[in-house]
């Protein structure tokens, strides 16, 4: 008999047909893959029911004896129907099995057992379709064993009724019962699974061993069995992930980077002296941590989270200037040309003339003319340009650096790990890395998606900003509110200020719906349609209206945003292309049309575009969602607070970790099988603590060869995700 391990191909245990079905349905290839297909819930067959009291339409469990068995072919298609008539002395019921002819060899007349399933009625006859069942020993066998047949049957029936039954995530091609049968077959042949977790961890966490956990997860006798099993497997999943992330961070930290110490009289000091404001305490603290990291021979690897408008870019600029003081270059990678151009312009404005001339900032984007790009690339390759800002064009083979010492990735969730690595590979020595996000990430998500990065937060907003007031506005029942919203926008423009109007679509959809420009039913709110309707309104005569969408070319987008920033456009109708980074202090109002179509974090990001100057901001979330709906709750939650970190937790609760992880880091959600970051924070923290303890004491895990293999497998999985 062959030895079956977790690495054994399923085809060797289940046969090629079943293995192929599991491969097609779930992508499973090995025994481990199948055994980690854990039940989505557990049910019970329930209390025993007499046949003369069976409730039609409900689930029931009966003890009965087989009277007779009939098999017939289906009339309309290939296949057979097996009908088994059973009785308990109070009545009769038929058990119906479709395309399961082998059961005729088990359900022989005279056999007694327990049967569980949904009660239906067919032509006046009660029946259970494809029921679960367990057959009892014969009376003779029971007597030979020295027991009373009826008492033993009742005892077994009760145990059977109360035994947890796994219910698996299934497909039409591979139903739950096929999965259960396949898993039972595998477990019957599986040799004892060695536990890679050190005994000290298992004892401290009070979890059962790996072999027992796998078996009890699928074959529990009692509720406490599957609870203990799932608790053990959940911790293992968290630990495997954290071990890989901690090991990755330790490996990166062990490499040698060029230290870039802060100069007392350097560029940073000159920048600070020219600023018309003081740094917030959070900016100072974050800057100090980055400065210390950049001055070290261990490469900095940090995730900088900042509230919308909290001044992350200034903190990054100061770090870039520290690198420039030693002659090193810094590259800021932005996801869009609009944002890259804005960063570049901000740097130009913030830097004193002498510093600007010394560090020679350049911008590199895909839409630049060949002449412009060649000139910028030459400045970078020669080392003349110490501050480089750009889009994906920075990743091009045509962009070469003389001494790349620091990489800043803005809105890091827009980039994959491979893209970060492509930029890192342009450095001659290991560069320092700073990833930035204006979308606050809950700590549990950060541990899961970015566990290899140290997290630094900026929560304080700079002084001198007037703030933002937000309202969720229901327009279905009170359309006059919509009219008032447009009047309010016109008042802002008349006062010399500017307005954003955000739409979910670029062009009108085919399906008509009532939306936001007032009056009769219309298509979903689109940039082109809303802009056209506003231009046609008499009260908007003379208002300079612009349009901005992601479909515009890089030069066109930059031209529109430049015109808006210069005050040449009064009202900008746009998609969420304005969500990130756009800074127009004179913009004081935003109307988000069909706001229920946006997520919590997205709405918070959009809102952050207004109220960035001396005048207060106003943001209206316009919606036709019912006030009892989840969408309305989402909008009112955003309107009630400006705390992006609190909203991130709300977003996590409402959307679930799958969507959040997918947004935070592409592919990560597919690594989670049992772990739930919304519910398992303590498990994650404990796993992280153990991973840091083990790797800190033994970076190569030489004392734990089983963990070395586990780490190798997990690193392969993460490497695959890095490519997504």
CATH assignment at residue 568:
3.40.50.300
Note the pLDDT of residue 484.
94
Does one domain contain both 34 and 65? no
**Rounded distance between C-alpha atoms, residue 52 and residue 321, angstroms:** 85
3-state secondary structure of 473: strand
By DSSP bridging, strand 112-122 and strand 125-129 are antiparallel
pLDDT digits (tens, 9 = 90+) for 646-660: 887 777 766 655 544
CB count in 10 Å sphere of residue 433: 22
Note the pLDDT of residue 147.
53
Is residue 144 predicted with pLDDT exceeding 50?
no
| Partners of 120 in the β-ladder | 127
**Rounded distance between C-alpha atoms, residue 672 and residue 238, angstroms:** 9
**Rounded distance between C-alpha atoms, residue 713 and residue 695, angstroms:** 17
CB count in 10 Å sphere of residue 537: 13
- 640-669 in b/e form (b: 16+ CB < 10 A) is eebebeebbbbbbebbebeebbbbbbbbbb
Note the pLDDT of residue 581.
56
pLDDT digits (tens, 9 = 90+) for 351-384: 999 999 999 999 999 888 899 999 999 999 999 9
The DSSP secondary structure of 345-385, one letter per residue, reads HHHHHHS-HHHHHHH--EEE-TTS-HHHHHHHHHHHHHT--
Structure tokens at 279: 């740094």
Mean pLDDT to the nearest integer, 273-295 = 94
Mean pLDDT to the nearest integer, 245-271 = 91
Q: Which long-range contacts (CB under 8 A, 24 or more apart) does 78-83 make?
A: 82/107
8 A C-beta contact, residue 545 and residue 518: no
Is residue 4 predicted with pLDDT exceeding 90?
yes
Mean pLDDT to the nearest integer, 575-591 = 84
Does one domain contain both 415 and 488? no
The rounded percent of the chain whose pLDDT value lies above 90 is 51
Mean pLDDT to the nearest integer, 679-684 = 86
Does one domain contain both 421 and 569? no
> Of residues 452 and 54, which shows the higher confidence score?
54
Does one domain contain both 617 and 716? no
Mean pLDDT to the nearest integer, 84-106 = 90
Confidence of residue 450 (pLDDT cuts 50, 70, 90): low
* Residue 308 in domain: yes
* Residue 655 in domain: no
DSSP label at 111? -
Mean pLDDT to the nearest integer, 438-467 = 76
Does one domain contain both 331 and 399? yes
3-state secondary structure of 36: coil
Does one domain contain both 589 and 713? no
Mean pLDDT to the nearest integer, 591-596 = 95
pLDDT digits (tens, 9 = 90+) for 322-360: 999 999 999 999 988 878 888 999 999 999 999 999 999
CATH of the domain at 101: 2.40.50.140
* Residue 3 in domain: yes
Does one domain contain both 234 and 284? no
- 68-81 in b/e form (b: 16+ CB < 10 A) is ebeeeeeeeeeeeb
**E strand map for 555-616:** 571-574, 587-592
Note the pLDDT of residue 648.
79
- Structural domain tally of the chain? 5
**Rounded distance between C-alpha atoms, residue 133 and residue 165, angstroms:** 12
Name the least confident of 110-124, 145-159, 286-300. Answer: 145-159
Provide the residue range defining the domain that includes 489. 468-506+524-641
* Residue 651 in domain: no
Mean pLDDT to the nearest integer, 684-698 = 93
In residues, how long is the chain? 724
Find which of 109-113, 119-123, 169-173, 267-271 is predicted with most confidence, using mean pLDDT: 267-271
Note the pLDDT of residue 137.
62
* Residue 152 in domain: no
Does one domain contain both 286 and 430? yes
> Of residues 380 and 663, which shows the higher confidence score?
380
**Rounded distance between C-alpha atoms, residue 643 and residue 464, angstroms:** 18
Is residue 690 predicted with pLDDT exceeding 50?
yes
Is residue 48 predicted with pLDDT exceeding 70?
no
* Residue 517 in domain: no
Confidence of residue 628 (pLDDT cuts 50, 70, 90): confident
The rounded percent of the chain whose pLDDT value lies above 70 is 87
pLDDT digits (tens, 9 = 90+) for 60-86: 778 788 999 999 888 778 888 999 999
Write down the number of H helices and E strands in the chain: 26, 23
Give the residue carrying structure tokens 């009966």: 62
Does one domain contain both 480 and 389? no
Does one domain contain both 388 and 271? yes
Note the pLDDT of residue 720.
60
Mean pLDDT to the nearest integer, 603-630 = 90
* Residue 224 in domain: yes
DSSP label at 59? E
pLDDT digits (tens, 9 = 90+) for 200-236: 999 999 999 999 999 999 999 999 999 999 999 999 9
Q: Which long-range contacts (CB under 8 A, 24 or more apart) does 566-571 make?
A: 567/498, 568/544, 569/498, 569/544, 569/545, 570/493, 570/498, 570/499, 570/543, 570/544, 570/545, 571/489, 571/493, 571/498, 571/499, 571/500, 571/501, 571/534, 571/540, 571/543, 571/544, 571/545, 571/546
> Of residues 639 and 721, which shows the higher confidence score?
639
**Rounded distance between C-alpha atoms, residue 577 and residue 339, angstroms:** 10
CB count in 10 Å sphere of residue 418: 12
pLDDT digits (tens, 9 = 90+) for 519-542: 334 446 899 999 999 999 999 999
**Rounded distance between C-alpha atoms, residue 599 and residue 51, angstroms:** 52
* Residue 348 in domain: yes
Does one domain contain both 29 and 53? no
Q: Which residues, 6+ apart, have CB-to-CB distance to 540 below 8 Å?
A: 486, 490, 534, 571
Does one domain contain both 337 and 426? yes
Note the pLDDT of residue 722.
56
Mean of the per-residue pLDDT values for the chain?
A: 86
């Amino acid at each position: 008999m062959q030895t079956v391990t977790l690495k054994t191909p399923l085809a060797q245990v289940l046969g090629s047909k079943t293995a192929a079905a599991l491969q097609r349905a779930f992508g499973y290839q090995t025994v481990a893959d199948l055994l980690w297909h854990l039940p989505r819930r557990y049910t019970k067959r329930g209390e025993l029911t007499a046949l003369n009291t069976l409730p039609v339409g409900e689930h029931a469990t009966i003890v009965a004896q087989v009277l007779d068995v009939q098999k017939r072919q289906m009339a309309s298609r290939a296949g057979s129907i097996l009908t088994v008539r059973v009785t308990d002395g109070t009545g009769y019921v038929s058990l119906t099995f479709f395309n399961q002819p082998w059961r005729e060899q088990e359900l022989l007349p005279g056999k007694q057992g327990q049967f569980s399933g949904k009660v239906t009625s067919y032509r006046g006859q009660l029946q259970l379709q494809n029921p679960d069942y367990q057959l009892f020993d014969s009376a003779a066998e029971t007597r030979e064993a020295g027991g009373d047949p009826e008492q033993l049957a009742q005892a077994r029936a009760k145990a059977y009724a109360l035994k947890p039954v796994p219910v698996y995530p299934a497909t039409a091609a591979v139903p739950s019962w096929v999965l259960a049968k396949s898993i039972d077959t595998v477990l019957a042949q599986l040799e004892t699974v060695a536990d890679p977790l050190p005994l000290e961890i298992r004892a401290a966490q009070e979890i059962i061993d790996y072999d027992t956990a796998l078996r009890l997860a699928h074959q529990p006798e009692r509720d406490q069995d599957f609870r203990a099993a799932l608790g053990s497997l959940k911790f293992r999943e968290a630990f495997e992930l954290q071990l890989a992330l901690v090991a990755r961070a330790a490996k990166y930290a062990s490499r040698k980077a060029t230290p870039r110490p802060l100069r007392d009289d350097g560029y940073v000091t000159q920048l600070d002296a020219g600023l018309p404001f003081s740094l917030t305490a959070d900016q100072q603290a974050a800057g100090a941590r980055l400065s210390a990291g950049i001055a070290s021979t261990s490469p900095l690897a940090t995730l900088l989270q900042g509230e919308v408008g909290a001044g992350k870019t200034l903190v990054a600029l100061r770090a870039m200037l520290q690198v420039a003081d030693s002659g090193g270059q810094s590259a800021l990678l932005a996801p869009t040309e609009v944002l890259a151009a804005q960063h570049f312009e901000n740097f130009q404005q913030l830097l004193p003339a002498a510093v600007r001339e010394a560090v020679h900032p350049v911008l590199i984007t895909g839409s630049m003319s060949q002449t412009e790009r060649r000139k910028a690339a030459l400045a970078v390759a020669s080392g003349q340009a110490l501050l480089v800002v750009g889009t994906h064009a920075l990743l091009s083979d045509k962009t070469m650096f003389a001494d790349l010492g620091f990489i800043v990735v803005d809105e890091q969730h827009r980039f994959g790990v491979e893209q970060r690595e492509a930029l890192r590979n342009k450095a001659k020595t290991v560069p320092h890395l700073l990833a930035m996000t204006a979308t606050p990430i809950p700590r549990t998500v950060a541990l899961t998606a970015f566990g290899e990065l140290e997290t630094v937060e900026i929560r304080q907003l700079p002084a001198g900003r007037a703030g933002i007031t937000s309202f969720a506005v229901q327009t279905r029942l009170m359309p006059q509110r919509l009219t008032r919203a447009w009047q309010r926008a016109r008042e802002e423009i008349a006062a010399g200020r500017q307005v954003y109007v955000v739409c979910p679509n670029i062009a009108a959809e085919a399906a008509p719906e009532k939306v936001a420009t007032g009056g009769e039913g219309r298509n979903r709110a689109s940039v082109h349609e809303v802009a056209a309707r506003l231009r046609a309104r008499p009260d908007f005569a003379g208002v300079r209206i612009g349009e901005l969408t992601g479909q515009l070319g890089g030069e066109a987008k930059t031209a529109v945003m430049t015109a808006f920033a210069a005050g040449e456009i009064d009202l900008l109708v746009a998609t969420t292309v304005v969500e990130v980074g756009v800074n127009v202090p004179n913009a004081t109002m935003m109307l988000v049309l069909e706001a229920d179509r946006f997520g919590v974090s997205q709405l918070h990001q959009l809102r952050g575009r207004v109220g960035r100057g001396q005048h207060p901001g106003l943001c209206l979330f316009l919606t036709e969602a019912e006030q009892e709906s989840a969408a309305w709750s989402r909008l009112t939650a955003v309107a009630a607070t400006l705390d992006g970190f609190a909203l991130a937790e709300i977003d996590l609760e409402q959307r679930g970790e799958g969507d959040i992880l997918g947004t935070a880091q592409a592919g990560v959600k597919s690594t989670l099988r049992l772990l739930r970051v919304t519910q398992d924070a303590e498990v994650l923290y404990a796993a992280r603590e153990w991973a840091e303890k083990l790797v800190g004491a033994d970076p190569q895990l030489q004392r734990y060869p089983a963990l070395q293999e586990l780490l190798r497998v997990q690193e392969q999985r993460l490497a695959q995700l890095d490519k997504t």
